[in-house]
Structure 1
Amino acid sequence: MRKVIMWDMVSVDGFFEAPGHDIDWFVFEDELAAYIGETQMEAGTLLFGRVTYEMMAAYWPSAEGDIATFMNGAEKFVFSKTLQSADWNNTTLISADAVAEVERLKQRAGGTIFVFGSADFAATLTARGLVDEYRLGINPVLLGKGTPLFQNIPERTKLDLTHIRPLKSGVVILHYQPARA
């Protein structure tokens, strides 16, 4: 079975975006790019909610470099009941039951499945026990307000820390897996 990994950059106070979908506070530098190259390029599938998809689709098609090549070439699914089309290369629009579709994708052959951003969509997957690993890049900033990464989580979920990687920029990357009962 394929793993679903949720990867997000987050502020120390738990926001993954500032008001207005602002993410210009993310610390992105060579060491983080290397980490992404080491850990995310094996992904076979990328999953997005509508807002994150629109931000990614507006940026990556004209970007250059290894990450852009990966993002533009990867199989992508956007989950939305309001989008009419998804025109970014290799993207499938899903307006039906997201949980059932992700369960089906986990059963298919292929590489790891990554969820980027997409807090509401990710909360749905978390609530249904479909996220196998959480990877968080904790950025050295307090935003004070914005969109919390974890919201609408129906119950306490214990996590086991499996990896820590501090970067020179002050970003600390944490890997967690849901605790086994």
Structure 2
Amino acid sequence: MRKVIMWDMVSVDGFFEAPGHDISWFVFEEELAAYIGETQRDAGTLLFGRVTYEMMAAYWPSAEGEIATFMNGVEKFVFSRTLTGAEWNNTTLVTGDAVAEVERLKQREGGTIFIFGSADFAATLTAKGLVDEYRIGINPVLLGKGMPLFQNIPERTKLNLTHVRPLKSGVVILHYQPADA
């Protein structure tokens, strides 16, 4: 069975975006780019909610470099009740039952499935026990307000820390797995 990994950057106070969908505070540098390259080589599929998909689809098609090549080439699914199409290369729009579709994707052959951003969508998958690992990059900034990464989680979910990777920039990457896994 394929693994679903949620990967997000957050502020120390737990926000993954500042007001207005602002993510300009992310610390992105060579060491983080290398980590992304190392850890996402086995990715076969990316999952997005609508808002994150629209931000990614607006940026990556015109970007250059190794990460852009990956983002533009990998299989992608966007889950939305309001979109009528998905124009970004290799993207499938899913308007129906997200949980059933992710369960189906987990059963298919292929590489790891990653969720980027998409807090509401990820909360839905977390509630159904479909996230196998959480990778959180904690950025050395306090935002004070914004969109919290974890919201609408229906019950306490105990996690086990499996890996810590501090970067010179001050970002600390944490890997967690659900304790019941």
- Normalising to structure 1: TM-score of the pair? 0.99
Q: How does 1:1-181 map to 2 (within 5 A)?
A: 1-180=1-180
Q: Equivalents in 2 of 1:41, 1:85: separation in Å?
A: 28
Q: Equivalents in 2 of 1:19, 1:6: separation in Å?
A: 22
Q: Equivalents in 2 of 1:109, 1:18: separation in Å?
A: 37
- Tell me the alpha carbon deviations over residues 121-155 of structure 1, each in whole angstroms, 9 at most, x when there is no partner: 00000000000000000000000000000000000
- Tell me the alpha carbon deviations over residues 59-117 of structure 1, each in whole angstroms, 9 at most, x when there is no partner: 00000000000000000000000001100000000000000000000000000000000
1:180: how far off?
A: 2.3
Q: Equivalents in 1 of 2:95, 2:19: separation in Å?
A: 26
- Normalising to structure 2: TM-score of the pair? 0.99
In structure 2, runs of 5+ residues without a counterpart are none
Q: Equivalents in 1 of 2:153, 2:102: separation in Å?
A: 18
Q: Equivalents in 2 of 1:41, 1:117: separation in Å?
A: 19
Q: Equivalents in 1 of 2:74, 2:64: separation in Å?
A: 15
Q: Equivalents in 2 of 1:145, 1:123: separation in Å?
A: 19
Matched residue type, 1:125: L
Q: Equivalents in 2 of 1:145, 1:5: separation in Å?
A: 26
Aligned residue pair count:
181
State the superposition RMSD in angstroms. Answer: 0.6
Q: Which 4+ residue blocks in structure 1 deviate beyond 2 angstroms?
A: none
Q: Equivalents in 1 of 2:122, 2:142: separation in Å?
A: 22
In structure 1, runs of 5+ residues without a counterpart are none
Q: Equivalents in 2 of 1:55, 1:117: separation in Å?
A: 10
